[in-house]
């Protein structure tokens, strides 16, 4: 199912992006089947954690994704825009091992909310985020960039929500500091698709050359 949006309307555009990983969980007859149902407990970094926000980085496109806690080490990054129907393009099943960056959001490390999406599973079976349940608040997300630098984020919050209750504003609203939102799928398969989204909210804590 596609959710349409007009670029000029921020709220509607965000609603389209919320559907960015609806293709998760389509078990295929010629595959090993979908990944196991996944649920995560909503977690937030301890309230007493000292703020360690790093200075914003210059614009530079992401070229990969590393999440050590989830065994993610992708060496490429798809560019996701809007198709002719103004719905978010999604990583194709053939590239389920690659994350995608919505090019309408800041590059990772810039001021604002950079948005990445990746599959939990597809018709081909388990995908890039198949171990998302292992991620905890405080874990690191590293995003290599085209200029040779790496933007390092720390997971602040993990949330699992039914796709019908997607927190659009929380995920896509602009921020005054560099942040990252990584959206994947979770929950059981309902009518051929995962019922939920799992969202990692992270803050920039370092940028290296």
Q: Is residue 98 part of a domain?
A: yes
Q: Which domain holds residue 21?
A: 10-208
The reported pLDDT for the residue numbered 119 is 93
The reported pLDDT for the residue numbered 31 is 47
118 DSSP 8-state letter: -
Q: What is the mean pLDDT of residues 27-51?
A: 56
Q: Is residue 194 part of a domain?
A: yes
Decide if pLDDT at 83 tops 80.
Answer: no
Please give the Cα distance from 101 to 77 (Å, whole number): 7
Q: Is residue 57 part of a domain?
A: yes
145 DSSP 8-state letter: B
The three-state secondary structure class of 13 is helix
Percentages helix, strand, coil for the chain (3-state, rounded to 5) are 10, 35, 50
Q: What is the mean pLDDT of residues 71-90?
A: 85
Q: What is the mean pLDDT of residues 17-32?
A: 46
Q: Is residue 169 part of a domain?
A: yes
Q: Which residue has the higher pLDDT, 96 or 123?
A: 96
Q: Is residue 1 part of a domain?
A: no
Q: Is residue 86 part of a domain?
A: yes
Q: Is residue 4 part of a domain?
A: no
The CATH number of the domain holding residue 189 is 2.40.260.10
Q: Is 109 exposed, middle or buried (0-12, 13-18, 19+ CB in 10 A)?
A: buried
Domain tally, the chain: 1
Q: Is residue 23 part of a domain?
A: yes
pTM of the predicted protein model: 0.83
């Amino acid at each position: 199912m596609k959710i349409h949006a007009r670029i000029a309307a921020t709220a509607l555009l965000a609603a389209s992006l919320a559907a960015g990983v609806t293709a998760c969980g389509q078990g295929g007859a010629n595959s090993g089947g979908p990944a196991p149902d996944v649920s995560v407990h909503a977690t937030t970094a301890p309230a007493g954690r000292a703020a360690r926000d790093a200075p914003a980085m210059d614009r530079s496109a992401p070229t990969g994704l590393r999440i050590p806690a989830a065994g993610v080490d992708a060496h490429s990054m798809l560019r996701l825009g809007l198709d002719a129907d103004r719905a978010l393009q999604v990583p194709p099943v053939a590239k389920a091992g690659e994350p995608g960056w919505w090019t309408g959001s800041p590059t990772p490390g810039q001021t604002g909310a950079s948005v990445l999406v990746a599959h939990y599973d597809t018709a081909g079976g388990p995908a890039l985020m198949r171990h998302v349940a292992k991620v905890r608040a405080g874990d690191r997300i590293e995003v290599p960039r085209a200029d040779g630098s790496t933007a390092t984020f720390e997971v602040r919050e993990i949330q699992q929500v039914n796709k019908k209750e997607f927190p659009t504003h929380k995920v896509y609203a602009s921020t005054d500091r560099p942040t990252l939102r990584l959206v994947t799928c979770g929950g059981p398969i309902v009518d051929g698709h995962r019922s939920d989204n799992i969202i990692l909210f992270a803050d920039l804590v370092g940028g290296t050359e």
